[in-house]
Amino acid sequence: MKFIDLRRQYEKLENEINANIQKVLEHEQFIMGPEVEELERELAKYTGRKYAYTCSSGTDALVIPLMAYELEKTDAVFVPSFTFFASAESVNLAGATPIFVDSKNDFLLDCEDLECRIENTIAEGKYVPRGIIAVNLFGQVCDFDEIGRIARKYNLFVLEDAAQSMGAARCGRKSGSFGDVSATSFFPAKPLGCYGDGGAIFTDDDELASKIKSIRVHGQGGGRYDNVRIGLNGRMDTLQAAILQPKLKILDEEIDLRQKVAEHYTRLLREQFTTPQVLEGNVSAWAQYTLLADSEAQRNQIVEGMKDKGIPIMVYYATPLHMQTAYRYLGYADTDVENASGLSKRVFSLPMHPYLNEDEIVDICNQLNLIANK
């Protein structure tokens, strides 16, 4: 059994994907070919944003708008500690400093803790609060009403890290449409994935959009060899855009299938485990179906026990960012971001993709319930 089975999706889209790849091989516009612009139009329409720009990865999708904000080392960007490394790394790459915020048991930013840390940062005076990166971890959109309220109060920008949440929605609004600017990833295993690295940036802000477009291509100005700022080579290649087009068409259908898988898991597991909480008004993209074990020992026993049965279980994430070696220079202690540390000891994720069938789900749950009962 595979943790994420991409083959089953390919079997469904094989003809369209192959034809699209062939088309690119024939027109030979491998960089910024027509498919890139077509995909950007489709993505803007899908998310309801005025602008959508594809780029080279989810990490660059975060870095590029952060570069547009022209941050300095003494500028602070608030980021959850319980997330993938790139959410915070992007802040450093853009020249600023991340300040880690705690998460709740729904794996999303703890807004009370966020406000507390903003206040403390202002009081200490070492860093100037500039922005918030809200991560839709495991596919669920954060409470952007509350995050927006805090951002307005302290005059901060909001960057939606939608790397795990393409196709998700909150109160009828699609992920990719929240905050001042949104970033997503098309890494193959994400809810909308290509066959390599890729990402996209979404915004409604005209000025930000023009900076993003410029930074994506070496800080381009009016002409091709006119450079008005420092940028990067952040383009998506045409082949990846051509591969994404048919996948975007079936994304909503796949999101529905993911709901069915998640509901089935929850039905079979809720008596033994703390099953994932979905906020009211949310449709999760279920990038991960993540459970909480009672303890670190039980979690590790589950991971090992399931591996013996040939069922892959992943731990996202075993180390909260405030305890990563790369962030030792910031001087955090384990208990400084307490719930993030606790979650990292107890979480484990089950195989999750739209094409997981009933027999597989039942088998996974039976094995899991057996191990948990020992």
Ligand X SMILES: *Cc1c(COP(=O)(O)O)cnc(C)c1O
Of 210, 305, 275, 196, the residue nearest 240 (C-alpha): 196
Task: Pull the structure tokens for residue 26.
Answer: 């024939």
Q: Is 57 in the site for ligand X (CB under 6 A)?
A: yes
Q: Is 160 in the site for ligand X (CB under 6 A)?
A: no
Q: Is 164 in the site for ligand X (CB under 6 A)?
A: yes
Which residue from 36, 66, 77, 163 is in contact with ligand X, where contact means CB under 6 A? 163
Q: Is 202 in the site for ligand X (CB under 6 A)?
A: no
Residues constituting the chain: 374
Q: Is 83 in the site for ligand X (CB under 6 A)?
A: yes
Q: Is 89 in the site for ligand X (CB under 6 A)?
A: no
Of 176, 124, 171, 165, the residue nearest 146 (C-alpha): 171
Would you say 337 or 361 has its CB closer to ligand X?
337
Cβ-defined contacts of 365-371 (< 8 Å, 24+): 365/265, 365/268, 365/269, 367/305, 367/306, 367/309, 367/311, 368/269, 368/272, 368/273, 368/302, 368/306, 369/268, 369/269, 369/272, 371/301, 371/302, 371/305, 371/306
Which residue from 64, 79, 86, 302 is in contact with ligand X, where contact means CB under 6 A? 86
Q: Is 283 in the site for ligand X (CB under 6 A)?
A: no
> Whole-number minimum distance, CB 65 to ligand X, in Å?
13
Q: Is 236 in the site for ligand X (CB under 6 A)?
A: no
**CA-based Rg of the chain, rounded to a whole angstrom?**
21
Q: Is 107 in the site for ligand X (CB under 6 A)?
A: no
- Closest residue to ligand X, judged by C-beta, is 58
Task: Pull the structure tokens for residue 98.
Answer: 């991340």
Q: How far apart are the first and last CA of the chain?
A: 23
Burial class of residue 7, CB neighbours in 10 A (0-12, 13-18, 19+): exposed
Would you say 234 or 354 has its CB closer to ligand X?
234
Of 114, 176, 193, 120, the residue nearest 150 (C-alpha): 114
Q: Is 58 in the site for ligand X (CB under 6 A)?
A: yes
Contact 164, 187 (CB under 8 A): no
CA–CA separation, 167 vs 188, rounded Å? 15
Would you say 176 or 268 has its CB closer to ligand X?
176
Which residue from 9, 47, 59, 203 is in contact with ligand X, where contact means CB under 6 A? 59
Q: Is 111 in the site for ligand X (CB under 6 A)?
A: no
For the chain, the maximum distance between any two Cα atoms, rounded to a whole number of angstroms, is 68
Q: Is 135 in the site for ligand X (CB under 6 A)?
A: yes
Q: Is 161 in the site for ligand X (CB under 6 A)?
A: yes
Q: Is 187 in the site for ligand X (CB under 6 A)?
A: yes
> Whole-number minimum distance, CB 247 to ligand X, in Å?
15
Which residue from 87, 121, 214, 240 is in contact with ligand X, where contact means CB under 6 A? 87
> Whole-number minimum distance, CB 143 to ligand X, in Å?
17
Q: Is 73 helix (H, G, I), strand (E, B) or coil?
A: coil
Which residue from 35, 102, 197, 237 is in contact with ligand X, where contact means CB under 6 A? 197
> Whole-number minimum distance, CB 61 to ligand X, in Å?
7
DSSP state of 130: E
Q: What are the residues binding ligand X (CB under 6 A)? A: 57-59, 83-84, 86-87, 135, 161, 163-164, 185, 187, 197, 199
